[in-house]
Amino acid sequence: MSGALINRTSFLECFNYIGARDHNYKPFTNSTLKPYIDGLLTAGLLVQGQGQGPQCHPLLVEIVTRSAVKADCFEVMAKTVHDKLGVKARWQDSPLYFQRESQFIREVRIGLYSQNLSFINKQIEDYNRYNNSKDKISIENIFEQICTNPFDADWFRTLQAPKQLLTL
């Protein structure tokens, strides 16, 4: 569900938070999770840059996310991401501060798959207000990335208001 980079410890926290268990029905530890992550890296399903945490392969992010929606587990996964990896505000009741572009893309992705236009608008507003980068990613680029990676007409038709969402 996320193309964002996270470290293995944070991933482990999320994995255990949703109730995942190892083959002995115990919560995962770094050592029991490592063979699975290593296998996914070897298979190319996860990628990992030098000094970075593993992430879903960029060409698989939307396929995996759409599968989570179909399996009716997307909302649990999104809640876990927000509870464990949520974007923080710099001070109480202030707008969110995105440390990386990947966080912003992840939040827009969650809003799009949740079909929550007001959530998406809030992310855009906070990103534009408190991101000082000269090369800000546009919402159109994010929607294009999500909707065409790969394009799935059946999924696209499930959006309740695709024109509204895609013309922000």
Q: List, for residues 63-87, the tens digit of each pLDDT value.
A: 999 999 999 999 999 999 999 999 9
Q: Looking up tokens 């070897």, which residue turns up? A: 42
Specify if 31 maps to a domain.
Answer: no
Which structural domain range is residue 103 located in?
87-168
Alpha-carbon distance of 119 to 21, in angstroms, equals: 32
Q: Could you give the number of structural domains in the chain?
A: 1
Query: pLDDT of 116-168, one tens digit each?
Result: 999 999 999 999 888 777 788 988 899 999 999 999 988 888 887 555 655 54
Specify if 159 maps to a domain.
Answer: yes
Contact 55, 6 (CB under 8 A): yes
Specify if 128 maps to a domain.
Answer: yes
Report the pLDDT value the prediction gives residue 2, as an integer from 0 to 100.
47
Alpha-carbon distance of 133 to 116, in angstroms, equals: 26
Specify if 23 maps to a domain.
Answer: no
φ/ψ bin of 122: left (φ > 0), alpha (ψ from -120 to 50), beta (otherwise)? alpha
Report the pLDDT value the prediction gives residue 50, as an integer from 0 to 100.
87
> Which string of DSSP letters, residue by residue, matches 17-59?
HTT-B-TTSSB--HHHHHHHHHHHHHHTSEE--TTS--EE-TT
Q: DSSP strand E in the chain: where?
A: 46-47, 55-56
Specify if 67 maps to a domain.
Answer: no
